[in-house]
């Protein structure tokens, strides 16, 4: 049994990670300021003695009494609709917040996993994206607050590794979906599901031929935990689903699966929205023996079920 600190534990991925680690009998401490996460994501664990939650903004330094063995550094706004509204908080969480967590890791001799993102590749000119690709990011565009925060976080993480020998690893997470996403967080899967369930018009940005790859949450958690508990150090590893699908195809699938009568509305493509996004996961396959196992129908069906059961919270927003 280890003591594991999770930043962003009330968020979508963080809360699933906590479920998994609690099942494996670890002692969990979650730090979250709830800027985009929901405390209710951990309600089912509130009487669990192995979980301690601390309301804390990680841009402020913190000391933890217990000896920490591992840090999953997941805290950051992650949806474009969030980070475009709070760009300064996003940049400070990625920079100062990451520094504070690296200092904590160093102090406790803990291993830190940084949750990075496929967004560090920007609007990629190389397909699929390998870890060796340097990216194509507009440093002043509306998405730069997120992309550059994560690029800085990766650079700082590597600087601690090189300067202090801090035990670190970087997960470059590609689009992940599943239960507990916020219905109004603006990402395509919850948007399309809510619109379909309400028989409202499905809003697609652009003409729908842009592609994404969608990784189901259970597979992502499997990849993140395999990576954390591996002996890989000072390297970045892509974690995502290598199956490419168009946005139109996803919307059609969701419409069919929800028996929806929704029509489709096409909006302008937001500035710097990537046209293609596809991970090369050869490294994760070779080093971790990991690849996603959940097919899109199974993942969507569990996610649709979740939103059906939580319809009262649902309000749609832009994509």
Ligand X SMILES: NC(=O)c1ccc[n+]([C@@H]2O[C@H](COP(=O)([O-])OP(=O)(O)OC[C@H]3O[C@@H](n4cnc5c(N)ncnc54)[C@H](O)[C@@H]3O)[C@@H](O)[C@H]2O)c1
Residues lying near ligand X in the complex (CB under 6 A): 7-8, 10-14, 31-37, 57-59, 74-78, 93, 97, 115, 117, 173, 175-176
Classify residue 173 by burial, with Cβ atoms within 10 Å: 0-12, 13-18, 19+.
buried
Report the residue number, 119 or 262, with the smaller CB distance to ligand X.
Answer: 119
> Greatest CA span in the chain, whole angstroms?
58
Report the residue number, 34 or 46, with the smaller CB distance to ligand X.
Answer: 34
Cis bond upstream, residue 115 (ω within 30): no
Report the residue number, 35 or 232, with the smaller CB distance to ligand X.
Answer: 35
Q: How far is the CB of 293 from ligand X (least distance, A)?
A: 18
Report the residue number, 111 or 172, with the smaller CB distance to ligand X.
Answer: 172
Whole-number Å distance between alpha carbons of 242 and 240: 6
Q: Among the options 70, 146, 177, 216, which is catalytic?
A: 146
Whole-number Å distance between alpha carbons of 125 and 135: 8
Closest CA to 20 of 307, 225, 164: 225
Q: How far is the CB of 27 from ligand X (least distance, A)?
A: 20
Q: How far is the CB of 319 from ligand X (least distance, A)?
A: 14
Is residue 146 part of the annotated active site? The answer reads yes
Report the residue number, 176 or 258, with the smaller CB distance to ligand X.
Answer: 176
Q: How far is the CB of 302 from ligand X (least distance, A)?
A: 16
Would you give the distance in Å from CA 69 to the centre of its chain?
22
Give just the sign of the alpha carbon dihedral 146, 148, 152, 157: positive
Q: How far is the CB of 199 from ligand X (least distance, A)?
A: 27
- Compute the C-alpha angle 8/14/18, nearest 5°: 120
Check: CB of residue 123 under 8 Å from CB of residue 178: no
Tokens representing 17 are 């990670």
Report the residue number, 33 or 262, with the smaller CB distance to ligand X.
Answer: 33
Q: Which residues contact 85 (CB under 8 A, 6 or more apart)?
A: none
Whole-number Å distance between alpha carbons of 191 and 54: 31
- The CB density around residue 273, as the number of other CB atoms within 10 Å, is 17
How far CA 317 is from CA of 38, 47, 119, 158, 198, in Å, comes to 18, 34, 22, 37, 13
Q: How far is the CB of 88 from ligand X (least distance, A)?
A: 11
Report, as residue numbers or ranges, the catalytic residues: 146
């Amino acid at each position: 049994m280890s003591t594991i600190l999770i930043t962003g534990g009330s968020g979508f991925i963080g809360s699933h990670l906590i479920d998994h680690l609690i099942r494996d009998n670890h002692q969990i401490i979650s730090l979250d300021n709830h800027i985009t996460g929901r405390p209710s994501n951990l309600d089912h664990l509130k009487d669990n003695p192995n979980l301690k939650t601390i309301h804390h903004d990680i841009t402020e330094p913190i000391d933890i009494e217990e000896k920490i063995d591992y840090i999953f550094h997941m805290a950051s706004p992650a949806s474009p609709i969030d980070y475009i509204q709070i760009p300064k908080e996003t940049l400070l969480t990625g920079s100062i917040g990451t520094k504070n967590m690296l200092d904590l890791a160093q102090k406790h001799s803990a291993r830190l996993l940084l949750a990075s993102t496929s967004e560090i590749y920007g609007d990629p000119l190389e397909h699929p994206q390998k870890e060796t690709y340097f990216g194509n990011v507009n440093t002043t565009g509306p998405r730069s607050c997120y992309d550059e925060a994560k690029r800085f976080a990766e650079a700082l993480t590597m600087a601690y590794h090189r300067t202090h020998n801090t035990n670190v690893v970087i997960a470059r997470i590609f689009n992940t979906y599943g239960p507990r996403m916020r219905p109004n967080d603006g990402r395509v899967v919850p948007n399309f599901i809510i619109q379909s369930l309400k028989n409202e018009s499905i809003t697609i940005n652009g003409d729908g031929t842009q592609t994404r790859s969608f990784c189901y949450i259970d597979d992502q958690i499997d990849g993140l935990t395999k990576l954390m508990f591996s002996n890989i150090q000072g390297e970045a590893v892509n974690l995502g689903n290598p199956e490419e699908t168009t946005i139109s195809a996803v919307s059609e699938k969701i419409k069919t699966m929800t028996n929806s009568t929704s029509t489709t509305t096409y909006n302008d493509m937001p500035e710097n929205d990537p046209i293609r996004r596809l991970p090369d996961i050869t490294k994760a396959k070779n080093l971790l023996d990991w690849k996603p196992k959940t097919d899109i129908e199974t993942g969507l069906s569990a996610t649709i079920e979740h939103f059906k059961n939580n319809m009262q919270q649902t309000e749609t927003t832009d994509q």
